[in-house]
Amino acid sequence: MKHFFSPLIVLLSFFVMSCNHDDGQAFPVQLDGVWEQRVYVDSVDFWVVNSFEFKANLTYQFRTTVRKTASGEDLGFRYVHDDSYTWDGINFIYFPNIVNWIDTRGKAFYVQKQELLLGTIDYQYAPEASLTFIEKRTKMIYQQKCPRDFVGCLNTSAPIEYVRVNSMILRSKSLFIIMISNSYQADRKQK
């Protein structure tokens, strides 16, 4: 039985990996993981990082943090909101209304999260963006959409490129492969 079990697990792992072939063009079934846009601000010698953290329950957190280096520790916050969204494979419709932001009248470039001011946003329309995934889903292009008849949206913003910094799916695949590898090695040692 042991001799049958190990090859079966190895075969199953190849099947799972081949079913998840990534052509770089298809959209993910569900948004997941943390995506960052990092911008160096030379006037203050800090990196400003805008992050989307998508969660499995169709919620997300958007935050703007400040770092000394592009991939270093967050020193503090400038903006945070948690909310829900809908996703149809291309269109990302989100519903932020309760937000926390830095008091721009102050001298601080960033503050601790608990020092952010609480506020609300009253949208005249449901905010929407198109999300495109490239380079084997390691990059996400965020393009804000605006209703044609809405005066405030005559000039849509430029697309923003975010890079994936972690993924629940990638971590799950890695753990699965490690478990199979450990099982196979333990089986070989018993022989």
Matching residue, tokens 């072939």: 21
Could you tell me the residue ranges of all domains in the chain?
A: 33-128
Instruction: Tell me the per-residue pLDDT of 131-152, one tens digit each, with 9 for 90 and over.
Output: 999 999 899 999 988 776 666 6
- What string of DSSP letters covers 27-63? PPSS--EEEEEEEEETTTTEEEEEEEEE-TTSEEEEE
Instruction: Tell me the per-residue pLDDT of 31-61, one tens digit each, with 9 for 90 and over.
Output: 889 999 999 999 999 999 999 999 888 999 9
Residues 6+ apart with CB under 8 A from 47: 38, 39, 40, 41, 66, 67, 68, 69, 70, 72
pTM for the whole thing?
A: 0.71
Q: Are 91 and 56 contacting, i.e. CB atoms less than 8 angstroms apart?
A: no
For CA atoms 118, 142, 83, 59, give the dihedral sign: negative
Whole-number Å distance between alpha carbons of 76 and 87: 30
